[in-house]
Amino acid sequence: MAEGDAETVTARTVFGALRLAGAIACAAALVHRLFWGLSSRTIAGENFFAYLTVESNCALVVILVIGAVLAFSRATDPRWFTVALALVLTWTITAGLAFALIVWQAGVRGIRVDVPWSDHLLHFWLPACTALAWVLTPGHRGVPWWVIPTSLAFPLAWGGVTLWRGPAVGWYPYYFLDPRQVAGPLEFLVTSAIALSIFAIVATVLVVISRLRRHGHPRPPV
């Protein structure tokens, strides 16, 4: 085996192990956050799976496990996986940014927000680590531009279901979706537009990085 090939195999093995470790850490944080929320005996705890963060991190666990298998068995990731990973990372990274903004605004308003270690991991550490891995992991493919509008499909669908479900349960996972906590339709539309723009910006950054890396290295075989 050529020296370059051996280095690629070693690098892919290392990142495969890191992907698997990330999946385990994410799953552990989700389990802890579930039981932490249930122990609080609040409606938020009972609606654990209604959070976009939770749903997107469940998807992250699945995609990281698949990515670990691919890293252990292939020199490059197939294009469908890179596209799927870009979409999931867009959702998890944006959810982390939104959570940081919510915590900051709560502090400004004097509202107490308890943030357990699992929330720190899900909203801050995992998004940061996966973003770094996106830049460094060998064997990535260039991501097509259509990933950017496609990344909005999940938050739009999630938002639609949340708005439909909210009145029935009397609860919304995020304050800016609750008609009782916003100053009318204009604030709701502006805040929602800002949230969607953040998704699009994060997706754009991930696409640009992937395409720059593709042009900077020989294109791998299909």
- Alpha carbon separation from 11 to 8, 81, 215 (Å, rounded): 5, 18, 20
Q: What is the dihedral sign for C-alpha 131, 213, 69, 202?
A: positive
C-alpha 57/C-alpha 61 separation (Å) is 6
Which positions ≥6 away from 28 have C-beta within 8 Å? 118
Q: What is the pLDDT of residue 122?
A: 92
Q: What is the dihedral sign for C-alpha 202, 208, 211, 216?
A: negative
For residue range 117-141, list pLDDT tens digits in order: 999 899 999 999 999 999 887 767 7
Q: Tens of pLDDT along the chain (222 residues)? A: 344 467 767 888 999 999 999 999 999 999 999 998 888 777 777 899 999 999 999 999 999 999 999 999 988 899 999 999 999 999 999 998 888 877 776 666 666 667 789 998 999 999 999 999 998 877 677 899 999 999 999 999 999 999 999 999 888 888 788 888 888 889 889 988 999 999 999 999 999 999 886 554 444 433
Count of structural domains, the chain: 1
Q: What is the pLDDT of residue 222?
A: 36
Residue 221 falls inside a structural domain? no
Q: What is the pLDDT of residue 104?
A: 72
Residue 182 falls inside a structural domain? yes
C-alpha 205/C-alpha 11 separation (Å) is 24
Residue 63 falls inside a structural domain? yes
State the amino acid at position 20 in one-letter form: L
Tell me which long-range contacts 103-107 makes (C-beta under 8 A, separation of at least 24).
Answer: none
Q: What is the pLDDT of residue 50?
A: 92
Residue 222 falls inside a structural domain? no
Residue 13 falls inside a structural domain? yes
- Two tokens, residue 197: 């723009």
Q: Which domain holds residue 8?
A: 3-216
Q: What is the pLDDT of residue 63?
A: 97
Residue 81 falls inside a structural domain? yes
C-alpha 62/C-alpha 23 separation (Å) is 7
Q: What is the pLDDT of residue 121?
A: 93
Residue 132 falls inside a structural domain? yes
What does pTM read for this prediction?
A: 0.88
Residue 160 falls inside a structural domain? yes
